[in-house]
Amino acid sequence: MCYTRAQMADPVRSGDNLLCRCFRVPESVVRQAIREKALTTVEAVTAYTNAAGGCSSCYDDIQAILDGVAGTSRHAVAASTLSDAQKDAAVRKTFEEDVRKLYEINDVAARILDVRGDRVETFFSGRAAGNDLPSILTLKWYLVKMMTTACGQKMQQIETNVLQPPGARAAS
């Protein structure tokens, strides 16, 4: 990995856009890696920064940055014909039937807070919440995959507990 966590300023405090919530990678670090290393694929960005190496919710955002740098648009996102209310119902049903028990096995309490457009706000708590263990990252990836399948379009998981300042997470 090219950039260490110590090299990445806290994006919440600095006002930088938090692009990858799993690994807390700010957008500026992704843009810097693309510029300095002449990266052209999301996989290369992941290799240098870890961004998109977890749940993959930021994959489309990184592809959009790459497309903007290259002046192209290789990645079209399918639009769903479902309303936000229908997506909300589909996400919650899938979560309850297919995903919740897997989080519980890993000592994580997970909640769906809101569904709007392609974004699903989630909150995780418990012993393993907020870490980057491979099992937890795989669960996040699986949640995104199941939500995407249920809604017929690429969905993004927004983990609200990583958007809170570090002191607020401890108090939650």
Chain segment 25-69, per-residue pLDDT in tens? 999 999 999 999 999 998 899 999 999 888 888 888 899 999 988
> What are the helix (H) ranges across the chain?
11-14, 27-37, 42-49, 59-70, 84-94, 100-105, 134-151, 166-171
> By CB neighbour count within 10 A (0-12 exposed, 13-18 middle, 19+ buried), where does 138 fall?
middle
Residue spans per domain, the chain: 5-70, 84-162
**Model confidence, pTM:** 0.63
Closest CA to 19 of 171, 163, 169: 163
What does the pLDDT look like over 116-163, one tens digit per residue? Answer: 999 999 999 888 787 777 778 888 888 988 999 899 988 988 888 765
What is the pLDDT at residue 126?
87
Q: Do domains 5-70 and 84-162 have the same CATH topology?
A: no
Closest CA to 103 of 133, 58, 72: 133
Query: CATH number of the domain at 84-162, out of 3.10.20.440, 3.30.300.130, 3.20.20.10, 1.10.3210.10?
Result: 3.30.300.130
**pLDDT, greater one: 56 or 102:** 102
Angle between helices 42-49 and 59-70 (to 10 degrees): 110
Closest CA to 31 of 48, 14, 6: 48
CATH (residue range 5-70): 1.10.10.1100
Q: Which residues contact 95 (CB under 8 A, 6 or more apart)?
A: 110, 112, 143, 146, 147
What is the pLDDT at residue 1?
43
- Cβ atoms 91, 120 nearer than 8 A: yes
Q: Which one-letter DSSP state was computed for residue 121?
A: E
Coil vs helix vs strand at 92: helix
Q: How far apart are CA 24 and CA 16, in angstroms?
A: 11
